[in-house]
Amino acid sequence: MAHNHAHGHHCECSQETKTDDLAVLYNLYSRIDLQNLECLNESIENSGKSVFRPWDERLDSDRFVQSDADEELLFNIPFTGNVKLKGLIIIGGDEGTHPSVVRLYKNRPHMTFDEAASPADQELNLVEDFNGTTEYATKIVKFSSVYHLTLHFPKNHGADTTKILFIGLKGDWSEGHRHGVTLCTYEATPSMADHKDKIIETTNMDV
């Protein structure tokens, strides 16, 4: 199979090649700590987690998140390591429910709507995309060491509520040591006094 080295940042390649490439590139969903992901103003609890899924499931219209009180949605997305975020794809609903803007914040865990009034690290205007054909590039230098990403969708294309079916994240993942150190410290200290005999026995065995 011939490799086309020029291709990658251009979009004039065939749909088949592009789709194959995107399936590989848009795999950061597997690096999200889904258990701790938060979606604020979702109408159905935990529905926000369902929009982060494999590329080949992007058009599954049964899984989506819809905003509740107004058109705003905010995702707090923790990763299981450090991410260099390179791009994103947003598939939204029709009839004006598709978000029209996304604001990105780096490493600001548990952000609220009030805090999202502060300047974003990057803001993107979104076109209505129902198939995942529009790719948005991030400022890679700015998003090169991300352990937590916040996506704030302040408005949509005219509807009362916002609907998102799929959020694809493209980038590189590396193991982060940020949380590991803390966990090791906690695990090593709590019960030393209670188990002195066991610790001594274990140490002797190890030696």
Cα–Cα dist 65/53, whole Å: 13
**What's this model's pTM, rounded to 2 decimal places?**
0.77
pLDDT band for 185, please (50, 70, 90 cuts).
very low
* H/E run at residue 172: strand 163-175
Cα–Cα dist 89/151, whole Å: 12
pLDDT band for 22, please (50, 70, 90 cuts).
confident
**R_g of the chain, CA atoms, integer Å:** 21
**Which residue type occupies 135?**
E
More confident position, 147 or 17:
147
Q: Exposure of 22 by Cβ count < 10 A (0-12 exposed, 13-18 middle, 19+ buried)?
A: buried
Domain boundaries, the chain: 15-176
pLDDT tens-digit map of 159-176? 999 999 999 999 999 998
Contact 78, 36 (CB under 8 A): yes
State residue 99's pLDDT score.
98
**Which residue type occupies 51?**
V
- The architecture of the domain spanning 15-176 is Sandwich (2.60)
State residue 72's pLDDT score.
98
pLDDT tens-digit map of 67-110? 999 999 999 999 999 999 999 999 999 999 999 999 999 999 99
Most distant pair of Cα atoms in the chain: their distance: 70
State residue 24's pLDDT score.
87
